[in-house]
Amino acid sequence: MVFAIIIGFMCSGKCSKTGRVIFLLLCLAVPVSSAQEADDTYSRHRAEMVRDQIESRGVSNSAVLDAMQKVPRHLFIPENLRSLAYYDNPLPIGFGQTISQPFIVAYMTETIQPQAGQKILEIGTGSGYQAAVLAEIVETVYTIEIIDELGEAAVTRLKDLGYENVETRIADGYYGWEDVAPFDAIVVTAAAEYIPPLLIEQLKDGGRMIIPVGSPFMVQMLMLVEKKGREVTTEGLMPVRFVPLRRSR
């Protein structure tokens, strides 16, 4: 429609040559400014997301909050669902996988206590969003995705967004990433019924592993695995605390 207006106006003979040039430039600026407006809108939504969904629920690590503010979550989501990117929900990304609810991503990131200079392994790249958030904080993120299509899309996406410190591999996460182990922390987003023994082995002494547990569109519990010497313990973390009703006495 904009193009039609342009053509119509230029052919109408009602405008001087200079005026037509100015008008043409203005019309070309429309899509550019539309894109800018969209970016601003997403940025605003992102700020609201951080304030209302993450900070208000107790995530306080400033590096994590900055990362969540910076990473454009909407670019990790299928285009037809982009308008829902900053809602307080997980969303489908294909192949039976979901991108976690923003709060869960932030909570998991905070729980593994990421710091600059660290090396993190992620099992289950998915959309690449978690890897991008981690990459804003630590030195290097190594991420493994077993599904070809998801992995390839994530590689392209992360590269386009300039995440040079994310190494992606399309492989079976069962074996971890032995070449560059051990890791300060491991994030297992593609959780399975077992924790591969090799992942425990590739976790540094004092390292933390986090695993979200829940069916699609639900994450009700996170499991933290800590390795101290030969001991490996687990802790169930409930980002949403369900306190059973207590009858009055």
Partner 1 sequence: MIHEPVRVGRISLAIGVLSAAIIAFELVLMQILSIVQWYHFASMIISVALLGFGASGTVLTFSAGWLLERFDRALAVLLMATGVAMSVALWCSQLQGIRFDSYLLFTGQSHIWRLLLTYLIFFVPFVLGATAIGLSFVGLSRHIGMLYCANLVGSGAGAVIIVILMWLVFPERLVGVLSLACIITGILFIPGGGLFRMVATAVSCLIPVLLFLHPPGLHVSEFKDISRALDLPGARIAHEKSSPFGLVQIVSSPALRYAPGVSLMYTQEVSASDAVFINGDWLGPVASMESAPVMGHTTSAAAYAMARRDRVLFLDAATGTDMFLALDKGSRRITAVEPNVSVMEVLETSLKSFVQQRQARPEITVLNTNSRAYLASDAQYYDLVVLPGVGSFGGSSGLFALKEQYLLTSEAFSEVWERLGPEGVMIITCWMDYPTRNPLRILATIVGVLEDRGVHDPKDYIAAVRGWATMTFVMKRSPITEDERERIRAFCSQMRFDPAMLADISAEERMRYNRLADDALFTLLDEIVSPDRDRLYESYDFAVYPATDNRPFFSQFIRLQGITNLARLFGTERVPFFELGYVIVLLTLLQVGCAAFVLIVLPLFGIGWRGENRAGVLIYFSSIAVGYMFVEIVLIHRFMLYFANPVYSASAVISVMLICSGTGSYLSTRVNVVDRSLGFILGVIILGILIASFGLSFVVQATLSIPGVVRWIAVLIIISPLCVIMGFPFPAGIMLVRRKDAGSLPWAWGINGCFSVMSAVLATIIAVEAGFTGVMLSAAGAYGLALLAYLFWFRKPSVA
Does position 206 interact with partner 1 (CB under 8 A)? The reply is no
Is 228 a binding residue for partner 1 by CB under 8 A? The answer is no
User: Looking at 26, 28, 35, 238, which residue binds partner 1 (CB under 8 A)?
Assistant: 238
Given the complex with partner 1, which of 40 and 235 has the nearer CB atom?
235
Q: Which residue has the tokens 């023994």?
A: 197
Does the protein bind partner 1 through residue 160 (CB under 8 A)?
no
Decide whether 17 or 249 has the Cβ nearer to partner 1.
249
* φ/ψ of residue 212, rounded to 5: -80, 135
Residue 249 within binding range of partner 1, rule CB under 8 A: no
Q: HEC profile for the chain?
A: CHHHHHHHHHHHCCCCHHHHHHHHHHHHHHHHHHHHHHHHHHHHHHHHHHHHHHHHHCCCCHHHHHHHHHCCHHHHCCHHHHHHCCCCCCEEEECCEEECCHHHHHHHHHHCCCCCCCEEEEECCCCCHHHHHHHCCCCEEEEEECCHHHHHHHHHHHHHCCCCCEEEEECCHHHCCHHHCCEEEEEECCCCCCCCHHHHHCEEEEEEEEEEECCCCCCCEEEEEEEECCEEEEEEECCCCCCCCCCCC
Considering the rule CB under 8 A, would residue 213 count as an interface residue with partner 1? Answer: yes
CA distance 196 to 218: 23
Strand pairing class (140-145; 231-237): unpaired
100 noted as active-site residue: yes
Q: Looking at 33, 60, 62, 100, which residue is catalytic?
A: 100
Span of 63-71, 120-128, 142-150, 161-169 interacting with partner 1 by CB under 8 A: 142-150
Residue 241 as a binder of partner 1 (CB under 8 A): the answer is yes
Residues 56-95 as x/- pattern, contact with partner 1 by CB under 8 A? -------------------------x--x---xx-xx-xx
Q: By CB under 8 A, is residue 193 in contact with partner 1? A: yes
Stretch that binds partner 1, among 13-21, 107-115, 117-125, 235-243 (CB under 8 A): 235-243
**CB of 237: closest distance to partner 1 in angstroms?**
6
- Using the rule CB under 8 A, is 148 a contact of partner 1? yes
The position carrying tokens 């630590």 is: 138
Choose which of 195, 202, 207, 210 interacts with partner 1 (CB under 8 A).
195
Assess 172 for contact with partner 1 (CB under 8 A).
yes
Active-site positions read: 100
Which residues are at the interface with partner 1 (CB under 8 A)? 81, 84, 88-89, 91-92, 94-96, 146-148, 172, 174, 191-197, 200-201, 213-218, 220-221, 223, 225, 232-238, 240-247
